[in-house]
Amino acid sequence: MDTTLPQSFYDRPVLHVARDLLGRRLVRLLNGQRVSGRIVETEAYRGEEDLACHARAGRTPRTAIMYGAPGHAYVYFTYGMHWMLNCVTGPEGFPAAVLIRAIVPQEGLDVIAAHRAGRPRREWCNGPAKLCQALNIDGRLNGAALWNVGSEIWLEAGQPVTEEQVRCTPRIGIHNTPEPWRSIPWRFVVAEQLNLKEKQNESSG
């Protein structure tokens, strides 16, 4: 077993939490079985002034969770078919969350493979909607307490990464967002994984 990240882990500024989530373990319990992966890519979304953040529209039924207590899951639906998993961060009353963009599968590989049938292993969890499909995460988990070990979903300490392993880039998929938000480097990636993605791009382009 591994130490569960306490609620206080999330009660910090969103940029700190986004960076600190690298190397941590995301655990899903499916039919009593642990299905998990190591977080290797995150993005921070911070406040109503961040025009890429859903909270730019203020407090609405969808964004209310981001204004609440840190450590809860914000799970939303987009493009008519995809779910995304976020961790709400502090302080309470300020809307901010970390998008989990990629994990490396660790436990329950058979379950993940079944959910991602037919895809090569490297494409099982290397995208925010892919990992939700792989771990069977959908809107039913919106608002879940992520420090609640043994529930449906939680996070464990895992193996934090060193500063040398962290790469920062602009966030992905917000090309219609005005500057400076479109280019601000609030995406955090484990260097090894970023190198893998660059190699993929080279070979496909």
Partner DNA sequence: AGCACGATTAACT
Partner DNA sequence: GTTAATCGTGCTC
Choices 6-14, 31-39, 53-61, 188-196 (CB under 7 A): range interacting with DNA: 53-61
- Euclidean distance between CA atoms 205 and 192, whole angstroms: 20
Cβ-contact 167, 160 below 8 angstroms: no
- Euclidean distance between CA atoms 173 and 182, whole angstroms: 9
Torsion of CA 119, 98, 156, 143, to 10 degrees: -90
Site for DNA in 64-93 (CB under 7 A): 74, 76-82, 84, 86
Query: Does 123 interact with DNA (rule: CB under 7 A)?
Result: yes
User: Given candidates 71, 90, 105, 128, which one binds DNA under the rule CB under 7 A?
Assistant: 128
Number of residues interacting with DNA: please give it, by CB under 7 A: 37
> Of the two residues 147 and 186, which places its CB atom closer to DNA in the complex?
186
User: Given candidates 6, 92, 172, 195, which one binds DNA under the rule CB under 7 A?
Assistant: 172
- If DSSP codes are grouped into helix, strand and coil, which group holds residue 134? helix
Query: Does 162 interact with DNA (rule: CB under 7 A)?
Result: no
Structure-token pair, residue 156: 């464990």
Residue 57 phi, psi dihedral angles, 5° rounding: -85, 5
Cβ-contact 98, 17 below 8 angstroms: yes
Choices 27-35, 123-131, 149-157, 191-199 (CB under 7 A): range interacting with DNA: 123-131
- Euclidean distance between CA atoms 160 and 101, whole angstroms: 17
> Of the two residues 84 and 104, which places its CB atom closer to DNA in the complex?
84
List of residues contacting DNA (CB under 7 A):
43, 45, 52-55, 57-58, 60-63, 74, 76-82, 84, 86, 97, 99, 116, 119, 123, 127-130, 171-174, 176, 205
